[in-house]
Chains A and B, each alone.
Chain A
């Protein structure tokens, strides 16, 4: 879902850059008490590890039927681990590094960060929160509730991000709306399955082995 340069019109690019920068500045102040705690330093090297995992998983494409491929976006995954506001900053920085390799354009960095960080991260996180609350009415174990909510939330977030991406392409006049949006959504309905599975497995593993790394547990209210 990495938009290249030369695809979108300047107005769409500028508007989404403004939204992304404003969200990152707002996010810095809203990032929560986590980064003010005495022992936060311990967490920092693991943020680097998480970044490496996201980079690597975005780098490798798994096959999807129909002659296309998918890769993890990881916005929702990062949001569950570090919080929704931190996820936009993490995704933005990873996208900057990827653009150095020609994966995603430089002028559209703000747009890609909007799609993957804000929609994938923040929206995905609140979707997970919603599903956790629904699953709290069941007698399921906590780790299963979080895993299932992650799978569904990250899946919907990816499909939603592809829908938004389709709209951006359409309003830029690159491809007509009636072609861009259904095509983007169609492919990502398939690709999103991988996103949901990978995100859920990683969250399940961390929650079982190092639950303190899921820093949003209290926010998500997993019972």
Chain B
């Protein structure tokens, strides 16, 4: 485990790089001049007779980290599941670069450019590390669709794999081992690497720090920051741990009982004592 690039962990003194925030509560407008890659508008979703989201509007700025916060049952996970197609929204739109993908299946939405790392158990323990990563490339266009020689496609895939192995050294060392042999932090690396292999424009992360030791958690947060800064990836980060999420996020939305109750840039949310006590628990 050594992926802290410059030793700087996600500290409270981190300074977000986004432009001035202009979003108001429930306001779907873009954060900056650039169009937001992901705009969720008035989303209603739930399970069976239960409605978990009552018209949620959330915008994720290009190349920024957008934190979605709130207590248990606030609807954070449901929001990600509705965006990635795991559940069908009953109403509302999910705009990916202006195209509404709401209602499509997850296997289509990942092809459109949204990768979702669900909470917990995202590693397939019965498969090897490399096999887990190869699954990340299943959304790539098939041989027939691309009309390219199988050899060059194989080379593309091998190169993409090598890139992730170079980024995540501990995974490279265990390439042929079963994923069940990995530590918690390595598992989190594996699922994030697998999501990256889908070459998404938007990455949805559900509680990446769940169950990790504080030091490992800091490394994972650090990784999330680097993905945003270095790759320009648009990241939506759902976290129970609001303090550490806000320390790396550019913007934050607070959900409560399926509604957005606050939306502001991360430092503003972190400075709002009443909001923190009320909804964020710190």
Q: Do A and B come from one complex?
A: no
